[in-house]
Amino acid sequence: MKYLRTAAIWAACLLGSACSIKEARELCPCRLDILLEECLPLTREVTLSAWSDGRVFTQALTVADYPEVYSRWVPKGKLRLTALSGVREEACQEGEWILPRGSACDSIWTCTAEVDCRGETSSVIIMLKQQFATVHLSINDLAPDEEYPYRLILRSQVDGLSLPDCQPHEGEWSRTILQNREGRYVFRIPRQQDGSLKLDMLLEGRKADSFPVGEHILKSGYDWTADRLADIYIGMDYGGAETHIRIEPWENGNVYESII
């Protein structure tokens, strides 16, 4: 009996959001069904936002709570739906996600879709797109316990994402990258638009060299437009004169290597 009462309450709520038979159907809302099952291998939480003339709704969800579908009523019309995952709240501003200078790049996943909600029901599958690449930088001839004397600063002309279209946002972003315990550098960079990414090498506080890492990545055949951005492996000699680039796809695919 308890379960029947619960079902009746939910049915009443749903009917209350829809239209009665006597109301004009064009004024009724549309039930939007959002399928999240493709998100779970990549993330546990996602924030959904919908725009029409302005923002229609924003809702943070735990993906596992909606194994089949997340549904809600929306005004009839065409909507732009955006899904964001991995975004730190302090980095979000109205209409954009901006990386503060000096901060690490987040593991950002996004999806944007145009949804036709002019009928009584509509549905969309959230397919997340990777907005970051992981870079593995190693210094040749550097012993595992040896500290590299150069300070490395990464500089990018992309500092986040424009919303709701989830395109790279133009702006200056930089951060110091640090060696890990194995003497290597592992860091994330936001999706790039061109080869402007730079790696500055500072010695005793002065710039000793600037390494055009973005150009070298492009020469290796890297695809910044892919939905899944491949890991980037860079081997650089002690003084930065010779560079070895290796691109490993996110899933099955060819491995690209070149020496520059």
What is the per-residue pLDDT across 79-112, written as a single tens digit (0 to 9) for each? 999 999 987 655 666 678 888 889 999 899 999 9
What is the per-residue pLDDT across 14-46, written as a single tens digit (0 to 9) for each? 444 556 555 556 679 999 999 999 998 889 999
d(CA 85, CA 92): 12
d(CA 131, CA 168): 9
Q: Which domains are seen in the chain, by residue range?
A: 25-129 (2.60.40), 132-259 (2.60.40.2630)
CA-based nearest residue to 140, from 210, 209, 239: 239
Indicate whether this model's pTM tops 0.85. Answer: no
CA-based nearest residue to 248, from 136, 83, 94, 160: 136
